[in-house]
Amino acid sequence: MSDTSRTPDTRTPAQIEADIKHRRTTLADTLDEIGVRVHPKTIVGDAKAKVASNIDHTLGRAYVGVNRVVGDVKGQFVTEEGAPRLERIVPVALVAVGLVGLLVVGTRRRKR
């Protein structure tokens, strides 16, 4: 059975050759692009860029989180006007000095 729905090709031999040349060029360009995409250096470069982007995103989120915590802690030791809250600072400072003292004493005992 032949397909009678197809129209006959009315192109000239020069037009057919030009079409073939155009398709060869398009195919060559496509193959070159595929070659670049699957080249190991391209794959490694893309992977590095993705990792760097993820690290930047993670560091940005960490920065925001740390900044929030620092703001919360600062709010515990400073009034809204910026004045220090000595009733909270002094006990924390005494505890810190006591812990450092215990560490120093413990380290000296181990050396002997």
| Better-scored residue on pLDDT, 2 or 55 | 55
pLDDT score at 5: 64
pLDDT score at 110: 74
d(CA 109, CA 96): 20
pLDDT score at 7: 80
Q: How far is CA 112 from CA 30, 98, 102, 105, 109, in A?
A: 76, 22, 16, 11, 6
104 pLDDT more than 70: yes
pLDDT score at 109: 76
Tell me the pLDDT tens digit for each residue of 26-63.
Answer: 999 999 999 999 999 999 999 999 999 999 999 999 99
Q: How far is CA 46 from CA 39, 41, 43, 109, in A?
A: 11, 8, 5, 55
d(CA 38, CA 78): 58
